C-alpha cells in the first residue's frame, strides 16, 4: 500500500507549549488528509479534514484555533497543538487519500503526545 510518514512518533512537552506534527505522503499525492485523535481504548475520532490549498474543515467540538492544520502541498500536512494542556495528551494519527474520492485512506504511524 501507499506510504504515509508521520513525525514525530512520540513527544513529551510542557503544558502551555505548542507541538507540531507532520504528515507526509511519500509515494502519492494526497488530495485529502484527515487528522484523528484516539484516547486509550476508544475508537478514532476525526478532528478535521483538509484538502490541499484550502482551509481545513473541523468536526464539531474541535477548536480550530487550538489545533492548527496546514495542508500547503499535496504531500504534506501539519497539525499544531497550541498551548497544550495535559488533557490534550492522546494518540494523534493522520491519514491521506489520493486520487478518487471513494478510495481508501492510508495512515501515518501516529504520534503519542504527552503533555506534562
Positions that interact with other proteins (CB under 8 A): 1, 6, 32, 34, 42-44, 46, 49, 57, 91, 93, 95, 97, 101-110, 112
Hey, what's the cell of 88? 490534550
Whichever of 82 and 105 has its CB closer to other proteins, that residue is: 105
**CB 95 to other proteins: min, Å:** 8
**CB 101 to other proteins: min, Å:** 4
CB atoms within 10 A of CB 35: 27
Whichever of 67 and 92 has its CB closer to other proteins, that residue is: 92
Q: Are 50 and 105 in contact (CB under 8 A)?
A: no
- Rounded distance between C-alpha atoms, residue 3 and residue 11, angstroms: 22
Q: Are 73 and 29 in contact (CB under 8 A)?
A: no
**CB 3 to other proteins: min, Å:** 12
Amino acid at each position: 500500500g501507499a506510504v504515509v510518514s508521520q513525525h514525530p512518533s512520540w513527544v513529551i512537552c510542557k503544558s502551555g507549549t505548542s507541538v507540531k506534527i507532520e504528515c507526509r505522503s511519500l509515494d502519492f499525492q494526497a488530495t485529502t488528509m484527515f487528522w484523528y485523535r484516539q484516547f486509550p481504548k476508544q475508537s478514532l475520532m476525526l478532528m478535521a479534514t483538509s484538502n490541499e490549498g484550502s482551509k481545513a474543515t473541523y468536526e464539531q467540538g474541535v477548536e480550530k484555533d487550538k489545533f492548527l492544520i496546514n495542508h500547503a502541498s499535496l504531500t504534506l500536512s501539519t497539525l499544531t497543538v497550541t498551548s497544550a494542556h495535559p488533557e490534550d495528551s492522546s494518540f494523534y494519527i493522520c491519514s491521506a487519500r489520493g486520487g478518487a474520492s471513494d478510495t481508501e485512506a492510508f495512515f501515518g504511524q501516529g504520534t503519542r503526545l504527552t503533555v506534562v
